[in-house]
């Protein structure tokens, strides 16, 4: 396994952390093509889905090589590293951590195997029965299966490493046979791309919570989180990977098997915020869905104003729709610095106090004296909106009316979005007027749940809206078996004992 030299700090300014998705995944099977560069550009198109780490695994038919590191795709890879990744198939990953800490050990693709075969796996989503899987891996290890050769022995603390171990722990069965045994055991959200030395695989959970699509190259196949990644590598969209489907692609062609009964519950927040606007999910263009959410907002929460402006960039399509429906002119009142997200240099205390200003700066001549409608996709903690309203008033805005293209976020997500805890969500336990007062706006309007769902053109029964309603489509286990740091060792007290327990520090196979 190779690792790049760069080490990045991930210091975000106060109030800047909004909802974060788990990851972007990409897989390609294309003999005769430069698959490492196809994977690189595919991940580049999926960079919005995860900016903590990136990795690519390739196979030449005999062995698998993985190169991964902390940082953005463009920071992890260069011509030299990509040139070392030879082969005819590849899987790639860009990560935002929802299970396990943001460390090199937890970067993906994960690797596991035995003398007969190796598995490299990339995962978008979040499993809710990780503790159960951890116990299964431990029991199989006690029975003599070779799980220790995988990522778990190298300190990986993710649900992805557990799945990798289970796929690669038995030399007497193929990876495909292992997948058909393991996949029905998983509960939660997963869109996988994985491979052995010869075959590319893709699988999606029975609810289809996270997106996954299949594309065709002239001389191969591509699987990716979003259709935008197909576009960037010149692949034509064929179809979605269906919920509960396992796809295998090799020299014989493409074959498909169902591993579970399905009940589609696609994440509605993909339409609201997570996916790129130039992506299509289940037949609905994300940009048009967001524009329609803006139109609905204008009908549901009209206001007298002089200009409609977005919070760049996620609020832009909804702001366009709001302006179209209301007849209020659309304007750009903020300039966004696109290079702030990750930095080698931690901000000074002075810069931290400026908060959002490092990322957004007002166009004073545009907003001075204006009654503004400011459109954003969501309010999580409220810090960003509070700082933004203050900034606009200081720049001379006469009024600031905030409009949000999703309902109040009141519940955490356990299926692949890293929201704040319920106690940190500003809308928990308070009404819209109290939120408005907290952020300092003249008025505040959220789109209705019905309006949001209608804009997606999907049946309500086919969508997961748990972060807004608390209605979780996959029943959750006990709270003690959930959480991003489920398998992370607890900090030690002065006597060297993990805080809050009476035993030794936990490891990847023993939850503290």
**Does residue 83 share a domain with residue 148?**
yes
Rounded CA-CA distance 505/511 in Å is 9
* Number of domain units in the chain: 2
* CATH assignment of the domain containing 132: 3.60.20.10
335 and 392 belong to one structural domain: yes
Token representation of residue 297: 């907002």
Residue with tokens 């954003």: 376
Domain, as residue range, for 300: 287-469
Residue 377 annotated as part of some ligand binding site:
yes
- What is the separation, in whole angstroms, between the first and last Cα of the chain? 29
CATH of the domain at 339: 3.40.50.2020
Active site residue 94: no
Helix (H) or strand (E) holding 466: helix 466-469
**Do 145 and 64 sit in the same domain of this protein?**
yes
Count Cβ atoms below 10 Å from residue 352 Cβ, excluding itself: 13
464 appears as a binding residue in the annotation = yes
Flag whether 457 is marked binding. no
Selected catalytic residue, list 23, 54, 178, 224: 23
Distance of alpha carbon 240 from alpha carbon 122, whole angstroms: 18
Residues 115 and 64 both lie in one domain = yes
Tell which residue, 231, 226, 230, 244, has the closest CA to residue 282: 226
Phi, psi (rounded to 5 degrees) for 187: -125, 135
| 321, 293 Cβ separation under 8 angstroms | yes
By C-alpha distance, which of 215, 199, 186 is closest to 123? Answer: 186
Answer yes or no: is 60 a known binding residue: no
Q: Are residue 396 and residue 453 in the same domain, yes or no? A: yes
Q: Based on the fold, state whether residues 315 and 451 are members of the same structural domain.
A: yes
Residues 209 and 293 both lie in one domain: no
- Domain identity same for 234 and 297: no
The answer to whether position 430 is within a domain reads: yes
Q: What is the pLDDT along the chain (512 residues), one digit of tens a residue?
A: 443 333 222 233 333 445 555 689 999 999 999 999 999 999 999 999 988 899 999 999 999 999 999 999 999 999 999 999 999 999 999 987 655 566 767 888 999 888 788 999 999 999 999 889 988 988 877 766 655 455 666 677 688 889 999 998 888 899 999 999 999 999 999 999 999 999 999 999 999 999 999 999 999 999 999 999 999 999 999 999 999 999 999 999 999 999 999 999 999 999 999 999 999 999 999 999 999 999 999 999 999 999 999 999 889 999 999 999 999 999 999 998 876 655 545 566 666 666 677 788 999 999 999 999 999 999 998 988 999 999 999 999 999 999 999 999 999 999 988 776 788 899 998 999 999 999 999 999 999 999 999 999 999 999 999 999 999 999 998 775 565 455 545 343 444 433 433 322 222 222 22
Residue 147 DSSP one-character state? G
Q: Is 314 annotated as a binding residue?
A: yes
Residue with tokens 């939120």: 435
Is there a contact between 330 and 294 (Cβ–Cβ < 8 Å)?
no
Domain presence at residue 281: no
Examine the domain organization and report whether 361 and 235 are in the same domain.
no
Do the annotations mark residue 94 as ligand-binding? no
* The two three-digit tokens of residue 226, written as one number: 């979003």
């Amino acid at each position: 396994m190779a690792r790049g030299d760069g080490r990045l700090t991930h210091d975000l300014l106060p109030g800047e952390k909004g909802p974060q998705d788990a990851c972007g995944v990409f897989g390609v099977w294309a003999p005769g093509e430069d698959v490492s560069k196809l994977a690189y550009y595919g991940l580049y198109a999926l960079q919005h889905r995860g900016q903590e780490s990136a990795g690519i695994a390739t196979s030449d038919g005999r062995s698998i090589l993985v190169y991964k590191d902390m940082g953005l795709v463009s920071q992890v890879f260069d011509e030299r590293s990509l040139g070392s990744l030879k082969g005819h198939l590849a899987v790639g990953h860009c990560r935002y951590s929802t299970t396990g800490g943001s460390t090199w050990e937890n970067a993906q693709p994960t690797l596991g195997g035995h003398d007969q075969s190796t598995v490299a796996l990339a995962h978008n989503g979040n499993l809710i029965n990780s503790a159960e899987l951890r116990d299964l891996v431990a029991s199989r290890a006690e029975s003599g299966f070779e799980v220790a050769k995988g990522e778990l022995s190298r300190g990986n603390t993710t649900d992805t490493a557990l799945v990798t171990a289970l796929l690669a722990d038995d030399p007497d069965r193929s990876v495909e046979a292992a997948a058909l045994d393991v996949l029905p055991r998983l509960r939660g959200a997963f869109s996988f791309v994985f491979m052995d030395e010869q075959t590319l695989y893709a699988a999606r959970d029975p609810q289809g919570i996270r997106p996954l699509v299949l594309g065709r190259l002239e001389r191969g196949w591509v699987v990716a989180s979003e259709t935008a990644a197909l576009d960037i590598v010149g692949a034509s969209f064929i179809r979605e990977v269906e919920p509960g489907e396992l796809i295998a692609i090799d020299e014989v062609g493409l074959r498909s098997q169902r591993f579970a009964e399905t009940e589609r519950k696609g994440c509605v927040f993909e339409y609201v915020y997570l996916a790129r606007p130039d992506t299509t999910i289940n037949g609905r263009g994300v940009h048009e869905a967001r524009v329609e959410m803006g139109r609905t907002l204008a009908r549901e929460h009209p206001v007298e104003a002089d200009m409609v402006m977005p919070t760049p960039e996620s609020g832009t399509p909804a702001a366009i729709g709001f302006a179209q429906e209301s007849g209020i002119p659309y304007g750009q009142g903020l300039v966004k610095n696109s290079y702030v997200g990750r930095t080698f240099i931690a901000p000074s205390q002075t810069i931290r106090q400026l908060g959002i200003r490092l990322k957004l700066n007002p166009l004073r001549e545009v907003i001075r004296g204006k009654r503004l409608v400011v459109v954003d996709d969501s309010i999580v903690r409220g810090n960003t909106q509070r700082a933004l309203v203050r900034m606009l008033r200081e720049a001379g805005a006469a009024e600031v009316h905030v409009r949000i293209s999703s309902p109040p976020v009141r519940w955490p997500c356990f299926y692949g979005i890293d929201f704040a805890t319920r106690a940190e969500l500003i809308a928990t336990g308070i009404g819209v007027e109290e939120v408005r007062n907290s952020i300092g706006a003249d008025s505040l309007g959220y789109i209705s749940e019905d309006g949001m769902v209608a804009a997606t053109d999907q049946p309500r029964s086919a969508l997961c809206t748990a972060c807004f309603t608390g209605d979780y489509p996959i029943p959750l286990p006990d709270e003690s078996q959930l959480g991003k740091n489920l398998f992370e060792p607890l900090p030690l007290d002065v006597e060297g004992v993990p805080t809050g327990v009476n035993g030794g520090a936990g490891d990847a196979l023993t939850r503290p």
